[in-house]
């Protein structure tokens, strides 16, 4: 698909387990390379797509490409590495998305728990509440839900209350000071409070903006399980295929004696 002479592409960046510095999944995004404007990031691409009625096409393209990518990237045990795909709360408010997701999983033969849908915590409260029933049904199918941009300046508090979730990604507004030479006491207090709440809810927490070893070490001490940032790799079309063990928070195989509960 080459809109207006440009080219759409799906890029990925690694998600790493902080304790072992191993890649345990990928985050996906859709970009558009324009012949004169260059690379158009999702923050500009998606609003323009919504205004022109192209959002459903782009969302399906990203979903199918990400599922196909995950189906080809496995951990040493042979299981697909989970792929995290951003999805709008308004998109989830439409139950038709359930069929689209089932089609993508079926076409790529990807297990449902290898797909993680990322919903922005900055979405409007009404949209999040409308999305909650669909989110619940998707989780019943085995698809996991991650709340992204937690701690951003315009985070919706209702997102933490009404949206069922398995994972959460802390925004760089909260984790940004992690790599600074001088600790930010206020940021540490905020981060610790968030982590305590998520820990009680059984939510696996990813620290965003982990760009160096100091940031990774501090995030680990504070209790974050996963990390995203330049330390582990930047966005690219074909990221490295490195991982060990089962990604944290993933539901065990049916033969596993005990299964982790969900929030």
State whether CATH 3.20.20.450 applies to domain 8-227: yes
Q: Directed axis angle between helix 96-108 and helix 55-72, to 10°? A: 30
User: DSSP letters along 128-169, please?
Assistant: HHHHHHHHHHHHHHT-EEEEEEET-TT--HHHHHHS--SEEE
Would you say residue 179 has pLDDT above 60?
Answer: no
Domains of the chain, by residue range, sit at: 8-227
Q: List residues bridging with 15 in a β-sheet.
A: 25
> Do the strands 38-40 and 7-17 form a parallel or antiparallel pair, or are they unpaired?
unpaired
pLDDT of 250: 55
Structure confidence at residue 18 (pLDDT): 96
Q: Which helix (H) or strand (E) holds 92?
A: helix 89-92
Tokens of 66: 């990400």
Question: pLDDT of 72-84, one tens digit each?
Answer: 999 989 999 999 9
* DSSP class of 249: T
Q: What was the pLDDT predicted at 2?
A: 46
Residues 200 and 31: their CA atoms lie apart, in Å, by 36
- For residues 148 and 120, the answer to whether their CB atoms sit within 8 Å is yes
Average model confidence (pLDDT) across the chain: 84
Per-residue pLDDT at 174: 77
What are the residues whose beta carbons fall under 8 Å from the beta carbon of 129, sequence distance 6 or more? Answer: 158, 162
What pLDDT, on the 0 to 100 scale, is given for residue 177?
A: 66
Residues 198-251 pLDDT 10s: 999 999 999 999 999 989 998 898 889 999 999 999 999 876 554 444 555 555
Count of beta carbons in the 10 Å neighbourhood of residue 168? 27
Give the model's confidence band at 47: pLDDT under 50 very low, under 70 low, under 90 confident, else very high.
confident
What does 30-43 look like in DSSP terms, one character per residue?
EEEEETTTEEEPHH
Confidence grade of residue 175 (pLDDT, cut at 50, 70, 90) = confident
């Amino acid at each position: 698909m080459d809109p207006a002479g440009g080219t759409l592409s799906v890029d990925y960046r690694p998600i790493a387990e902080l304790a072992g510095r191993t890649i345990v999944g990928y985050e996906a995004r859709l970009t558009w390379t324009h012949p004169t404007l260059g690379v158009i990031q999702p923050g500009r691409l998606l609003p323009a797509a919504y205004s022109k009625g192209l959002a459903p096409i782009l969302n399906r393209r990203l979903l199918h490409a990400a599922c196909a990518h995950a189906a080809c990237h496995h951990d040493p045990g042979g299981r697909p590495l989970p792929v995290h795909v951003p999805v709008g709360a308004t998109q989830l408010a439409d139950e038709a998305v359930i069929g689209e997701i089932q089609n993508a999983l079926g076409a790529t033969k990807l297990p449902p728990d290898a797909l993680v849908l990322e919903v922005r915590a900055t979405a409007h409260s009404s949209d999040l509440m409308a999305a909650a029933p669909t989110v619940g049904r998707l989780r019943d199918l085995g698809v996991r839900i991650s709340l992204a941009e937690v701690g951003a300046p315009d985070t919706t508090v209702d997102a933490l209350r009404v949206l069922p979730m398995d994972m959460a990604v802390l925004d760089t507004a909260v984790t940004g000071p992690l790599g600074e030479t001088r600790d930010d006491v206020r940021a540490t207090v905020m981060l610790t409070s968030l982590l305590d709440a998520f820990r009680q809810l059984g939510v696996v927490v990813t620290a965003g903006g982990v760009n160096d070893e100091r940031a990774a070490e501090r995030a680990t001490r504070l209790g974050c399980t996963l990390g995203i940032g330049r330390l582990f790799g930047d966005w690219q079309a074909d990221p490295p295929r490195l991982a060990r063990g089962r990604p944290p928070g993933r539901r065990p195989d049916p033969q596993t004696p005990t299964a982790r509960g969900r929030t």
